[in-house]
Structure 1
Amino acid sequence: MLIILIVFTVFVRISFGANILYIQSVAYYSHQLTHFKLIEVLALKGHNLTVFSTHYKNFNNSNIMQYVIGAVHPKSRILESKLDEMNGFEYYVKHELQYHHDAAESQFENIKLQELYLHPENYNFDLLIVECNFCMFIVLAEIYNCPLVSVFSAEPLNFFHEYIGNYVHDTIHPEIIIPAIHGEVSFVERLMSLINQHFFAKIFRARDIRLSQYQFYRKFPNFSFPPLMDIVGNRAKMYFTDTSAMTTNIRPIVPNYHQIAFIHVEPSKSIEDLRIKKFLDDAEEGVIVLSFGSIANDFPEILFNKFCKTFQDLPFKVIWKADYDKFKHLVIQSNILISKWLQLSDILAHPNVKVLVGHGGLKTIEEAIDREVPMVLMPINLDQPFNTFFQVRHEIAVELDLNTFTKESLTNAIMEVMKPSYKENIQKVKLLAYDKMSTSLGEAVENIEYLLKHKEKFTYQRYEGKCSIDRSDLFYDFFWMIGKFLLLIVHAVNYLL
């Protein structure tokens, strides 16, 4: 026993896990994937995680305590915005901006979350990890006097890049929620980018922060906290984004900003649905996979029919993610298999899959690159046109417009990306994405543990003042109205030109 004790003392390293509070409030399931993987690895490293997320995952790890908070969705669905010809900037202003604030306010009513901020003496957290800009959740870093890490599941908006300290140029780095600037940039395009970046973006940034601050004031009227901008400035020590040089603009970045693309992609597993597995195995002629994520369940019948008419004459089989119950009254061809849920990453790894037809979601693009499947992309809104632009530029995808595509254009696009050059190009893109000294996941965990190890050098003293806001101040509201008026003028000019 003495020998065993000596060996244990000398050779066994004893580690003490940190207590991490992890909040993922964005209701889109694709946003959860990056965070779920990061949570799993941090727990395996011995850290204790208290997780609040909008979707449940069975982590099967005693180090993780998970609570599900309400998945609040925008009143206007993203597919409707595309069908109504609403561009990303307009959709963000009218719906996404307010949605994030409404979601945070609703989720803050979670009983367990209330317990954390009403009775902090019962808990101890060494780190807060969130996905938000200036939302109310960051106040928990102030309550527990701990550093803050922001994890973005997509490219951050330019105003947040500026706040972080990353370089932003109007025409080199156009805002991801406005149409990407293609090829040679005309004077009008430069002017539009300049107006968006230096006028609208700053007004909406001020509006975003003011809404958060106002909610913060209502939720904590008697607490002594600094303004949210100061909390972010003092507490936020690292930023992670699910992007890479293959999926976004190249720009100079500060040392505490890390790109962690592809971390949710795992080695392929066997397909659990035996019906889908047999369909794939028997498809020697090749398979086209059609997946538009969660928005596929909102397809109008006329759009569903357009896809059906295209696929019925193709010499390939088709696996299609859609809500079949909505369309079971229609005649579906025998070469089409429809499922409400797809094990997409593993299906794309099947050797008979030739093409992915999708909406340009970043996670789906990463899975297609990893599985070396060329794409036909029909971006809907927000960052999807931005994501699609880069894949077209890499010559691993063809872009079509969801509102105007025809049977002929979709058929031609599918046959185009089946050319050997697209397969060769996507293999090169995959090599460039993965060929580095450390994995993105390993880099993320190492940097988080570095912050935990040296967190005493990064924390700040509690703020002794009182958070307040002058609700009679009409300054921002005045410029908000002017901004919306000028936005209409810019759209009109853009339409005429």
Structure 2
Amino acid sequence: MVKILFLVAFTASIVTQLESANILGIFYYPSYSHQIVYQRLVKDLANRGHHLTILTADKMDSKHPNISEIYMESSYEGNINFVESRKSGGLKLFYDLLMAHFKRSELQMENPKVKDLIINHKNYHFDVILLEYLFKSHFIHFGELYNCPIIGISAIGVGIPVHELMGNQVNPLIHSEIMFPYQHGRMKFKERVSSFIYYFATKFFLQPIFEYVGWEQAKKMFILKNSSVTAQELEDRVDLVFVNTNPLLDYVRPITPNTIQLGFMHVETPKPIIGELKEYLDSSQNGIIYMSLGSNVKSKDLTPETKTIFLNVFRKLSYDVLWKFEDDRLANKSDNVKISKWLPQTDLLAHPNVKLFITQGGLMSLEESIDREMPMIGIPFLLDQYQNTLKVQEEGFGLSLDLEDVTEASLHNAITEVMKPKYRENIKRFKKLVYDEPMTSREKAVFWTEYVIRNKGAKNLKYPGRLLPFYQKCGLDVIATIILTVYSFSKLLSYLRNSVKSNKKLKIL
């Protein structure tokens, strides 16, 4: 019996070795909440015997023998202040993000180990690249260096340029960009105008600038095997895109088979809370309101006026308030308010004494709240947070407030409203819906990664119309031809009719 078990184990180890692949993961965006999504997939792939080399903006939480980590420590240099940038509007924020991306890329490429992957690429072999793909990135050149397929992955929803690349339906009059709080397919006239203008401004102005600057920057950083390769040829290496949004949290839209929707990738069973924090949570008599603006937006950067509004409202409540606040002191806070620079949010939300979550509406925070059945008040600051908090309000398990319009009365009324039992009942119902799937998102992501490895790509799943130029997708050439033909034919008929009339007059004379 022992011999049989040994043979089975030995055979399994050989099969694992034969099927294991070399994977390059490039996760460059400096946001811990994003990185934790990628880390879950990386560990799952490593546990299946694959060998991964990871370029990351945040260190892995734990070590694994199959994971080689390249920590790009300069990733957080030059990060923008999202509290300030949100005041400038969508286009300015988009521009600031792109400029920060270029600066960050140069710093990340100075990492000696990253340089080694580029300069000595002949010494390495990779079967597939997992590339962070919130928007198009010139890290895509690694696909040309290693002549392998790319799987794009985003911890949140992707922008319109990525949807266009994959061949998904893109119509700004139906689906707005992710930073707009518009109901897809139900936009008002003013919202459709705004969405339409933004789409054309980014597609024909900002995006070409971004691609040109990125291309010039990439040519300095990379040693390409084929210097004549085009941007379109590089982008064609992206065979799949993993989008970490459940269709029920995102707005449903027609997508192609190579767009894999996931969601709840990072959510795991809550761990027990220990020490002083446990004592605080357990001892609360009336319940706790937890407030955090996430890992990118800092509560300490709020204006003094906004902080005063929150503190005045919290002072009047019978609840305790636990506030993730990135400073040692918060002036004029009342005794029922406790601040901390860091808190184990995903575990904390599972505590029975926590009654409400005031959040910036980041996707990972929403997913944790849904899993822990925690009603929310969302105050969005950037990107997908506007649509996320709008969705929370639509589904009836929270409310959305605009920071500029927050007053003591509106905040107090929102807290009082969301404490009603119906909000918790609605989030329990929604949780059942999002988890009613044949396999988990992590299982799905592993399957499709190994699908690309087994088949050396997934070009068979690509929509053939994705590469058509804009005028062909919209049928402008066909419409113009029809109009020109009808016009020419009508002119010809008019000419013939006039000729016939002239001939009749001549005969009469």
User: Which residue does 1:109 correspond to in 2?
Assistant: 110
Query: In the superposition, relative to structure 1, how do residues 378 and 122 fare at CA in structure 2: closer, same or farther (>3 Å)?
Result: same
Distance 1:148 1:442 in 2: 19
Asked whether 1:318 is paired with 2:321, we answer yes
- Is 1:368 equivalent to 2:372 in the alignment? no
Post-superposition shift, 1:63? Answer: 0.7
Displacement of 1:11: 7.3
SS in 1 for 2:239: strand
Do 1:147 and 1:458's aligned partners in 2 also have CA atoms closer than 8 Å? Answer: no
Instruction: Give the TM-score of the pair, scaled to structure 1.
Output: 0.86
**1:87–1:381: 8 Å Cα contact kept in structure 2?**
no
Q: Cα deviations across residues 344-369 of structure 1 (Å, max 9, x unaligned)?
A: 01000011111100111111011111
Structure 1 residues 126 and 458, CA gap change in structure 2 (3 angstroms): farther
Aligned to 1:180: 182
Q: CA deviation at 1:431?
A: 0.9
Worse overlay, 112-121 or 162-171: 162-171
Corresponding residue number in structure 2 for 1:383: 384
Higher relative contact order structure (alpha carbons within 8 Å, sequence separation ≥ 6) = 1
The secondary structure found in structure 1 opposite 2:449 is: helix
Q: Deviations over 1:229-286 (max 9, x none)?
A: 31111x11111011012221101111111111001011011114x2221111111311
Structure 2 counterpart of 1:338, one-letter code: I
2:82 is matched with 78
Preserved contact between residue 241 and residue 259 of structure 2 (Cα < 8 Å): yes
Shift in Å at residue 32 of structure 1? 0.6
Q: For residue 359 of structure 1, what is the aligned residue in structure 2?
A: 360
| Residue 56 (str. 1) matches residue 59 (str. 2) | yes
Whether 2:422 is the aligned partner of 1:418: answer no
Partner of 1:349: 350
| CA-based RMSD | 2.3
Check conservation: 2:144, 2:225, Cα contact below 8 A. no
Asked whether the 8 Å contact 1:87–1:179 carries over to 2, the reply is no
Q: Aligned partners of 1:130 and 1:107: how far apart in 2?
A: 15
Partner of 2:292: 291
The verdict on how the C-alpha distance between 1:397 and 1:256 changes in structure 2, with shifts beyond 3 A counting, is same
Aligned to 2:474: none
- Following superposition, the deviation at residue 129 of structure 1 comes to 0.8
Partners of 1:320 and 1:202 lie apart in 2 by: 43
- 8 Å contact from structure 1 (residues 246, 390) kept in 2: no
Q: Which residue of 1 aligns with 2:438?
A: 437
Tell me the SS of whatever aligns to 1:312: helix
Shift of 1:181: 4.8
Distance 1:424 1:195, change over 3 A: same
Q: Distance in 2 between matches of 1:58 and 1:50?
A: 15
For 2:168 and 2:261, locate their aligned partners in 1 and report how far apart those are by CA, in whole Å: 13
> How far 1:97 moved relative to its partner?
1.6
1:306 aligns with 2:306: no
> Residue 48 of structure 1 aligns to which amino acid in structure 2?
H
What CA deviation, in whole Å up to 9, does each residue of 1:187-234 have, x standing for no partner? 33322222222344332222221121111223247752412331111x
Structure 1: distance between partners of 2:457 and 2:328: 56
Residue 226 of structure 2 is aligned to residue 231 of structure 1: no
Contact in 1 for aligned 2:356/2:419 (Cα 8 Å): yes
Matching of residue 158 in structure 1 with residue 160 in structure 2: yes
1:25 corresponds, among 28, 38, 42, to 28
Aligned amino acid, residue 76 of structure 2: V
Identity across aligned pairs (percent)? 34
| Deviation sequence 1:364-395 (CA, Å, 0-9, x none) | 01111111111111111222112111111111
Maintained 8 Å contact 1:242/1:261: yes
**Post-superposition shift, 1:4?**
7.0
> Which segment drifts farther, 292-301 or 305-314?
292-301
SS at the partner of 2:88?
coil
Q: State the alpha-carbon separation in 2 of the partners of residues 271 and 213 from structure 1.
A: 48
CA distance in 1, matches of 2:33, 2:213: 26
1:39 corresponds to 2:65 = no
Shift in CA distance, 326/334, structure 1 to aligned 2, threshold 3 Å? closer
Report if the CA contact (8 A) 1:271-1:347 is conserved: yes
The unaligned stretches of length 5 or more in structure 2 are: 461-509
Between the two proteins, the alignment pairs up a number of residues equal to: 452
With the length of structure 2 as denominator, give the TM-score of the two structures: 0.84
Measured against aligned partners, the alpha-carbon deviations of 1:57-101 in whole angstroms (never above 9, x if no partner) come to 23221111112102235554101123xx322333112x0121112
Deviation at 1:8, TM superposition (A): 5.8
Deviation string for 1:308-332 (max 9, x for gaps)?
11111101011110024243xx243
> Residue 326 and residue 452 in structure 1: after superposition, are their counterparts in 2 closer, same or farther (change >3 A)?
same
Tell me if the contact between 2:145 and 2:224 (Cα under 8 Å) persists in the aligned partners: no
Mapped to 1, the partners of 2:385 and 2:117 lie a distance apart of 36
Q: Which residue of 2 aligns with 1:478?
A: none
Over 3 Å counting, the alpha-carbon distance change for 1:297 and 1:223 in structure 2 is: farther
- Which runs of 5 or more residues in structure 1 are unaligned? 460-497
Question: Equivalent residue for 1:201?
Answer: 203
Distance 1:183 1:400 in 2: 22
What residue in structure 2 maps to residue 260 of structure 1? 262
Q: Secondary structure at the match of 1:150?
A: strand
Instruction: Indicate conservation of the 8 Å contact 1:170/1:193, yes or no.
Output: yes
Partner secondary structure for residue 290 of structure 1? strand
Cα deviation for residue 2 of structure 1 reads 7.7
| 8 A contact 2:239–2:457 mirrored in 1 | no
Q: Tell me if structure 2 keeps the 8 A contact 1:324–1:340.
A: yes
2:361 and 2:302 map into 1 onto residues whose CA distance is 16
User: What amino acid does structure 2 have at the position aligned with 1:325?
Assistant: D
> 1:140-159 to 2 correspondence within 5 Å?
140-159=142-161
Answer whether contact 1:40 1:59 (CA < 8 A) is retained: no
Distance change (3 Å), C-alpha of 1:35 and 1:9? closer
Q: Would you say the 8 A contact 1:50–1:64 is kept in 2?
A: yes
Q: Determine if contact 1:134/1:212 at 8 Å carries over to the other structure.
A: no
SS in 2 for 1:293: coil
Aligned residues of 1:237 and 1:458 also touching (Cα < 8 A): yes
User: Are 2:175 and 2:185, in contact at CA under 8 Å, matched by a contact in 1?
Assistant: no
Q: Is the alpha carbon distance of 1:12 and 1:67 closer, same or farther for their aligned partners in structure 2, counting shifts above 3 Å?
A: closer
Supply the distance in 2 between the matched residues of 1:113 and 1:184 (Cα, whole angstroms). 46
Equivalent position of 2:119 in the other structure: 118
Counterpart code for 1:349: A
